[in-house]
Amino acid sequence: MEFVAVQFLNGLASASSLFLVASGLSIIFGVTRIVNFAHGSFYMLGAYMAWTLATRLSAGPLGFWGAIIGAALAVGVLGAALEVTILRRIYRAPEMFQLLATFGVVLVVEDLALLIWGPADLLGPRAPGLRGAVDIFGQRFPEYELLLIAIGPLVLVLLWLLFYRTRWGTLVRAATEDREMAAALGVDQRRLFTAVFFLGSVLAGLGGALQLPRETINLNMGFATVVEAFVVVVVGGLGSVPGAYLAAFLIAELHAFGILVFPKITLVLIFLVMAVVLIVRPHGLLGRPFVGLPASVVSPAAVLRPSSPAARWVGAIGFVALLAAPFALGDYALTVATEIAILVLFAASLHFIMGPGGMVSFGHAAYFGLGAYAAALVASRLAAPMVAGLFVAPVVAGLAGAAFGWFSGRLSGVYLAMLTLAFAQICWSVAFQWAELTGGDNGILGVWPPAWAAPAAAYYYLAVALSLSAVLLLRRAIRAPFGYALRAGRDAPLRAEAIGIDVAATRRIAFAVAAGSAGLAGGLFAFFKGSVFPTYLSIPRSVDGLLMVLLGGVNSVSGPVIGAIVYTGLGEQLVRFTDYWRLAMGVAIIALVLAFPEGIAGFAARLADRRRGAPAEDAR
């Protein structure tokens, strides 16, 4: 019994930390509609900065608490700077490009932190005056944790006062509901957004800084935290601060007790809770639907045009180049080309649901990884031939996609994206924790193609043939009646229903098709690398896919193809030439987003339009 009480208190302390980060994320999303992946980086920076300040300033209480506050404020300033320098320029761009920019910031911050603080874990000082422990139910409980327990509700109350008892708070709440109307009443969104970014980032920085006496500080703490904060925000309801506390409490207690009861599946448990909440209450526990929250990521104006003669020529030349590549390229270049061919299919499959379907997936790697694992398991456990593996991969992934589509029902927009994230995390946890089947972290090794496909050129041709056919089939589907139905459901779901399109069913099929295609890519990848690891279905790989699609542009099939080539090629080059490839990649992504807010292919299409003298699509 005593143990349960103490475990409960532990949960409360974690809930406070989680709440600080999540409330900042929620406030930022509520007002600006930006899904800020860099929020975790700010949390991490808060911890690092507090460490630097605390070890530089005097050792007394003034030094320690000064460091905590100073770090939180410094992170707030960084957040405001991010808003002013980057995000402000792209508020009019589709939501997902803002996401892309924040990914770029994540990469940059990660490498800058590596540069400044080095790769080793750092240990912070203990809090002066709170080093001891108190007796609670006969158990020792650290005083510092008691402080944390108090800070969560305290911040909740302060935020409530700010939002409900000041005019600024009223304006923020108004803008959260309907920012266009607020602007029409004279509310300057830009200043409000900067202030909100400052506040949200202060909360993230404070959350990170307060970890100083609790845990070691490292470069991975940001990403782990932002994913958990997303779960909290979505479960609590986007934009709802009390919801964030409630959800942080739930998740933290689930952690605290889940680890006792089901130590192996705590991760799965948390994401299952999120999935259930989203299915039962699509707007989260305390969330409300937003006005003007776009359900899709592409502007409805996106029209598919038949390929121009020039594009056909490019296609034909590209095809010849593909065939000739093995004669021109060395071994290394050929493996890069093979990888690109496979990733093109991965990106095109994601594009299939994102572009015509308007559904964002943060977890598309789940299907890629499922395909890879299915192929590898069939090959290694059943000793089946590669062809069987390549057949099973899309089938398994496609079935998983169909199941997911069935569950996610009518969710759309950010909520759907979050559910895809949850599903991918569940798959990842299973691959990671079910070691008997999957080999856990060690993965499955020795998944090699048979002799006929073993030479680099042979496997290259195989990958190109399968990938190209699948991409062309996807392209056909987009231009077939099915594709029209899908796009109608994206642009005007109600009207589409009215003319007899079953929007939900169309989306489910699209999900299954996209998942199957990603699974095929995963299967190809497994035999290409000769091994499978949980990283294949991890979030960073999903992010890779997103980046490819968004870089290329969501409005045409050439987008993901170009995006995959540019992204993989760029990454490959950067890794070869610099240790700080994340920094370079991040800067490149940010620069690309600022220069081409509609993707590379979209930009090319606009250039072509302009030459034809069509009206500018948006005048400003």
Partner 1 sequence: MLRLEAVHAYYGRAHILAGIDLAVERGEAVVLLGRNGAGKTTTLKAAMGLVPVATGRVVFLGADIAGRAAHEIARIGIGYVPEDRRIFAGLTVMENLAVGRQPPRRDAPTWTVERLFGLFPNLAAMRDRPGGRMSGGEQQMLSIARTLMGNPRLVLLDEPVEGLAPAIVEEMARTVLALKREGLTVLLSEQNLAFARLVADRAYVIEKGQLRFSGTMAALMADAAARTRYLSI
Give the footprint of partner 1 on this chain (CB under 8 A): 167, 170-171, 173-174, 177-178, 180-189, 288, 291, 299-301, 303, 614-620
Judged by DSSP in three states, 135 sits in strand
299/335 with CB nearer partner 1: 299
Contact in structure between 182 and 171 (CB atoms under 8 Å): yes
| Strand 444-445 relative to strand 139-142, pairing | unpaired
233/466 with CB nearer partner 1: 233
Least spacing, CB of residue 15 vs partner 1, in Å: 25
254/295 with CB nearer partner 1: 295
Contact in structure between 182 and 38 (CB atoms under 8 Å): no
Contact in structure between 391 and 449 (CB atoms under 8 Å): no
164/434 with CB nearer partner 1: 164
- Other C-beta atoms closer than 10 Å to the C-beta of 230 total 27
47/171 with CB nearer partner 1: 171
Among 457, 459, 439, 417, CA closest to 536: 439
Least spacing, CB of residue 186 vs partner 1, in Å: 4
The DSSP element (H or E) to which 48 belongs, if any, is helix 39-56
Least spacing, CB of residue 620 vs partner 1, in Å: 5
- Other C-beta atoms closer than 10 Å to the C-beta of 70 total 19
Among 293, 233, 329, 251, CA closest to 15: 251
Judged by DSSP in three states, 122 sits in strand
Least spacing, CB of residue 311 vs partner 1, in Å: 19
Among 510, 536, 542, CA closest to 523: 536
217 DSSP 8-state letter: B
Least spacing, CB of residue 499 vs partner 1, in Å: 18
Least spacing, CB of residue 474 vs partner 1, in Å: 25
90 DSSP 8-state letter: G
Among 205, 213, 281, 221, CA closest to 246: 281
174/457 with CB nearer partner 1: 174
Among 455, 478, 452, 439, CA closest to 558: 478
d(CA 251, CA 14): 9
92/479 with CB nearer partner 1: 92
175/416 with CB nearer partner 1: 175
Contacts of 330 (CB under 8 A, 6+ apart): none
291/437 with CB nearer partner 1: 291
Alpha helices in 33-129 (DSSP H): 39-56, 61-85, 95-117
Least spacing, CB of residue 619 vs partner 1, in Å: 4
409 DSSP 8-state letter: T
Least spacing, CB of residue 549 vs partner 1, in Å: 21
294/569 with CB nearer partner 1: 294
d(CA 79, CA 74): 9
Least spacing, CB of residue 242 vs partner 1, in Å: 12
Least spacing, CB of residue 185 vs partner 1, in Å: 5
CA quadruple 222, 226, 228, 231: dihedral, nearest 10: 180
264 DSSP 8-state letter: G
Least spacing, CB of residue 149 vs partner 1, in Å: 29
171/592 with CB nearer partner 1: 171
Q: What angle do CA 474, 550, 86 make, to 5 degrees?
A: 170
195/336 with CB nearer partner 1: 195
23/420 with CB nearer partner 1: 23
d(CA 25, CA 345): 33
Among 507, 473, 471, 475, CA closest to 488: 507
d(CA 186, CA 445): 62
Contact in structure between 511 and 333 (CB atoms under 8 Å): no
Least spacing, CB of residue 611 vs partner 1, in Å: 16
Least spacing, CB of residue 507 vs partner 1, in Å: 23
